[in-house]
């Protein structure tokens, strides 16, 4: 059966006019990965380019993998330690933060924080590159082959949206000498303008914080 026919059959199967539940497509074929891994966007840094804002970088310049504290205890994982996160596609290394307010079978992280070295106007040793990470490395573009024909996309059958929330992973402690994000790549060689090395905005500049009442009331808007 061709890939086009397989996509058509999938569309007919799931394009129901009434709400329905089904096990995510990748989970129908993948076992032995006990934890759901999801991302969400931080309110203070919704898009990747927000890392170019020095004020926001002082709030958030590294993402962590958040995990339920009891689940971590069963796996021998300590708070702020480094862990390996593995999916059927590959593995990454990330720093973990433990919390009670996380569903025991789920790990999550902030999206849009981890950056490739030397991109987004940041230094090649910026926190976003040395300690931040992306779950993207663990998400496959294709579903596993079932032997019945070509593999088809790992996406929502109707909208085609990538299956960001279907990811299942295993997490294990990293060795004592395994720290820092992984994988890493050579810094980008694309030309970029020189930026100040300090993490502040208009530092030392005098800012006028008082205005005359008449100017507030009668100035043109």
C-alpha 73/C-alpha 75 separation (Å) is: 5
Is residue 108 domain-resident?
A: yes
C-alpha 108/C-alpha 42 separation (Å) is: 12
Is residue 98 domain-resident?
A: yes
Total domains, the chain: 1
pLDDT of residue 209: 46
Is residue 68 domain-resident?
A: yes
Which residue range is the domain that position 36 belongs to?
A: 3-185+196-218
Is residue 201 domain-resident?
A: yes
CB 50 within 8 A of CB 105: no
pLDDT of residue 149: 72
Is residue 120 domain-resident?
A: yes
pLDDT of residue 93: 98
- CB atoms < 10 A from the CB of 128, how many? 25
pLDDT of residue 81: 97
Is residue 190 domain-resident?
A: no
Is residue 130 domain-resident?
A: yes
We report the CATH number of the domain holding residue 41 as 2.40.40.20
Please give the model's pTM, rounded to 2 decimal places.
0.81
Q: For residues 14-40, b (16+ Cβ closer than 10 Å) or e, as one string?
A: eeeeeeeeeebbbeeebeebebbbebe
pLDDT of residue 133: 94
Is residue 176 domain-resident?
A: yes
* Spans of the chain, pLDDT less than 70: 1, 192-221
pLDDT of residue 183: 93
């Amino acid at each position: 059966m061709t890939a086009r026919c397989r996509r058509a059959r999938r569309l007919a199967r799931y394009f129901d006019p009434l709400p329905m539940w089904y096990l995510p497509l990748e989970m129908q074929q993948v076992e032995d990965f006990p934890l759901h891994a999801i991302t969400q966007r931080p309110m203070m840094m919704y898009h990747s380019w927000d890392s170019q804002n020095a004020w926001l970088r002082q709030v958030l310049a590294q993402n962590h993998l958040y995990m339920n504290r009891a689940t971590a205890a069963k796996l021998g994982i300590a708070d702020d330690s480094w862990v390996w996160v593995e999916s059927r596609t590959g593995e990454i290394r990330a720093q973990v933060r433990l919390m009670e307010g996380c569903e025991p079978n789920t790990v999550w992280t902030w999206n849009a924080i981890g950056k490739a070295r030397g991109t987004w106007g940041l230094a090649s040793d910026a926190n976003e590159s040395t300690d931040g990470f992306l779950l993207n490395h663990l998400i496959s573009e294709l579903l596993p082959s079932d032997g019945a024909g070509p593999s088809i996309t790992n996406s929502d059958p109707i909208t085609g949206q990538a299956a960001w929330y279907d990811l299942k992973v295993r997490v294990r402690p990293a060795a004592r000498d395994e720290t820092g994000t992984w994988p890493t790549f050579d810094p980008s060689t694309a030309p970029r303008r020189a930026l100040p090395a300090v993490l502040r905005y208009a530092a030392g500049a005098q800012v006028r914080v008082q205005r005359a009442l008449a100017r507030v009331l009668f100035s043109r808007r």
